Structure 1
Amino acid sequence: MTFSEFMNIGLMQGFAGLSLFSVLLLMGLGLAIIFGQMGVINMAHGEFMTIGAYTIFLGSTLTEKFAPGFTPYYFPVAILVAFVFAFIAGWLVEWALIRHLYKRPLDTLLATWGVSLALQQCFRTGIGPKEVSPTLPEWLMGSWAPKEGLDIPINGLFVLALTAVVTGGVMLALYKSRWGLRVRATVSNRQMANAIGINTKKTDRLTFAIGCGIAGVAGAAFTTIGSTGPTSGSLYIVDAFLVVTFGGAASLLGTVASAFGIAQTQSISEFFMTGSMAKVLTLSLIVLILMARPQGLFAVKVRR
């Protein structure tokens, strides 16, 4: 193998890591908002991702059946619908369950785990136990070859662009919108936020729903790199929590940095060893770093 071929393989493996980074970052952003900003351990977060993935599949199926001419255009619309469906589901879960369990982290963990199992059974009953994949538009297929021997999949480029747009939108909303101001005030000092007239309960509900909606977008992105089954979301929940914990629970910048580091470490190490050993190596490195810096890469001072 020549040095040029080795470099091309390394670059393609690194780009495969960027696709994983995109899904982990979108999952991590939703969790960073829910766990980092609200202190809620949402074990059903992966199932909100699955809601987004199944929305894309159903959009693909319905488009092929009733409006085949719309097939090249359905995907961006289905991503917006995936956000809306996951947002509504998150709003209902917060209203029916989570709002009664604030400041009770163990109860929240057990309750959302129950929601996770219930949603998985709903997916099995309503859609089926087998994994499914949507029919992607033609413009998402194929690859881009910037030079000979280096092929970069177009769907990976699209997912990367989608992740950049969502991440930028979340950052902008948190620091430039009225909702973001209320969230930051609530995180900084909940009692003072209540005292100055901020409805922290309404802010919590909207924040939880937005975090779930972002998980739905992560599920939409996931359909471009893998098939979807009832337990697909649960396969990513541990990695998503690692991303948030490693980066710093209340830091969005830390979420971006840790998602990139974890995805690239895992992807590049998979070229030299088996997938399970690559996961062990990644987890070991995270544990060692957290032992030296338990607050995460980017700690944020928060008053409770």
Structure 2
Amino acid sequence: MSNILSQAFNGLSLGSILLLISLGLAFSFGLMNVINMAHGQFLMVGAYTAYVFQQTLATPLGGTEHGVWFVLAIPAAFLVTAFLGWLLEIGLIRFLYGRPLDTLLATWGVGLVLQQAAKSIFGAPNVQVSAPSWLDGGWAVTPDLMLPYSRIFIIGLATVSVIAIYVYLNKSTAGRRLRATMQNREMAACLGVASRRVDAGTFALGAGLAGIAGCALTLIGPIGPSLGTNYIVDAFIVVVLGGVGRLPGTILAALIIGVANTLLELGTTASLGKVLVFALVIAFLQWKPKGLVALRGR
């Protein structure tokens, strides 16, 4: 039982990372109908931002173990990846709306460029980011059940990010414009909403969330240029399962897939567990094609 609970907790932390990645995809896919194959590379950029902060700021800020550099790396990763996302939208994707195949191929090419740039700058081998000392160890719930502080931190980071997104969407003018554009682009434009500006801001927001997820991933294991490739398929599955453009569905789907992945690996292998998860998702979508949370219409 302790082993099952421990795996379920690990799955919850994995689901939290998938949630941060998938929220960005849900925005871009739901708002602009853009299949962004470079989204996984934004995850990689966020992870390498944390690595750069460790290499350059850890010593001046009191050493690696204090972790001040890591706290600063989280907003920095958001800003760096958000800026890259904004550049990608205004420089390329803006000219490809309504052409989904061209958008898919173009973003896939951008992803390859970012991956090769990471290999050229940091090298092909994986690198390790040292966790702050206050994230060492874990919370001993029972003598047989230990919950690592690093994974508790990841879950907390995802929770804070979701609350911030909720406040942004419901309490700010920019968030209300984003929701209006997602629901009815033409009507929002008629009422004076600059939809192209909303598109650029939303794409930047989605990329920034992927950057935060990349920072969180450095607490789990080493990072490398192909880091994003390992998560992009799962992120797309989360978006489709939750309901395209439906944020509550995305949150629920990310947690379900994260926990299911780890629990199914207990009695099988990692590859077979992932195959079983995909099979269950496909079977569910045959029953409810619009996902867990369908968009209501009149």
Q: What's the TM-score bracket when you normalise by the shorter of the two chains?
A: over 0.9
Number of the residue aligned with 1:297: 292
Instruction: Kindly provide the CA deviation profile for residues 171-219 of structure 1, in whole angstroms up to 9, marking residues without a partner as x.
Output: 2211221111111111222121111111100000000000000000010
Match of 2:41 in 1: 47
Deviates more, 1:79-88 or 1:174-183: 174-183
Report the Cα distance in structure 1 between the residues aligned to 2:297 and 2:217, rounded to whole angstroms: 33
Which of 253, 274, 298 is matched with 1:258 structurally? Answer: 253
Residues in 2 aligned to 1:66 and 1:128: alpha-carbon distance in whole angstroms: 25
CA distance in 1, matches of 2:198, 2:296: 20
Alignment of 1:187-198 (within 5 A): 187-198=182-193
Corresponding residue for residue 3 of structure 1: none
Is 2:2 the partner of 1:20? no
Report the counterpart of residue 50 of structure 2 in structure 1: 56
**Residue of structure 2 equivalent to 1:275:** 270
CA RMSD of aligned residues (A): 1.3
Q: Provide the residue aligned with 1:109 in structure 2.
A: 104
Deviations 1:233-286 (A, max 9, x none): 011000000000000011111001111111111101111111111011100000
CA distance in structure 2 between the partners assigned to 1:263 and 1:84 by the alignment: 26
Structure 2 SS opposite 1:146: strand
Q: Retained in 2: the 8 A contact 1:61–1:134?
A: no
- Aligned with 1:50: secondary structure? helix
Alpha-carbon displacement from aligned partner over 1:130-151 (angstroms, at most 9, x marks no partner): 1111121100111110221111
- Please, which runs of 5 or more residues in structure 1 have no aligned partner? 1-6
The CA distance in 2 between the partners of 1:187 and 1:19, in whole Å, is 29
1:143 correspondence with 2:138: yes
Distance 2:56 2:234 in 1: 32
Tell me the distance in 2 between the aligned counterparts of 1:124 and 1:73: 27
SS at match of 2:147: strand
Kindly indicate whether the alpha-carbon contact (under 8 Å) linking 1:13 and 1:267 is maintained by their aligned counterparts in 2: yes
Indicate if the aligned counterparts of 1:45 and 1:237 stay in contact, CA closer than 8 A: yes
Relative to structure 1, is the Cα distance of residues 147 and 180 closer, same or farther in structure 2, using a 3 angstrom cutoff? same
Report SS of the residue matched to 1:133: coil
Q: 2:233 aligns with which of 207, 213, 238?
A: 238
Structure 2: how far apart are the matches of 1:278 and 1:191? 43
Unaligned runs of 5+ in 2: none
Which residue number in structure 1 is paired with residue 24 of structure 2?
30
Question: Who is 1:130 aligned against?
Answer: 125
Q: Return the offset for 1:31.
A: 0.8
> 1:92 maps to which residue?
87
- Among candidates 53, 66, 69, match of residue 74 of structure 1: 69
> Is the 8 Å Cα contact of residues 58 and 67 (structure 2) preserved in structure 1?
no
Task: Tell me the number of residue pairs that the alignment of Structure 1 and Structure 2 aligns.
Answer: 297
Q: Distance in 2 between matches of 1:265 and 1:120?
A: 29
1:67 deviates by 3.9
Report the CA distance between 1:66 and its aligned residue.
4.1
**Paired AA for residue 191 in structure 1:** E
**Structure-2 separation of matches of 1:151 and 1:65:** 31
Q: Specify the alignment match of 1:175 in structure 2.
A: 170
Letter matched to residue 47 of structure 1: Q
In 2, the alpha carbon distance for the partners of 1:212 and 1:170 equals 13
2-structure distance, mates of 1:272, 1:112 = 37
SS of corresponding position for 1:211: helix
Runs (4 or more) in structure 1 with deviation over 6 Å come to none
Normalised by the size of structure 2, how large is the TM-score?
A: 0.97
Distance 1:225 1:136 in 2: 9
- 2:19, 2:254 within 8 Å by CA — same for their partners in 1? yes
1:302 shift after superposition: 7.0
Matched, 1:213 2:208: yes
Maintained 8 Å contact 1:188/1:302: no
Deviation sequence 1:113-158 (CA, Å, 0-9, x none): 0000010000000111011111211001111102211111000000
Aligned counterpart, 1:4 = none
* CA 223–302 in structure 1, closer or farther in 2 if over 3 Å, else same: farther
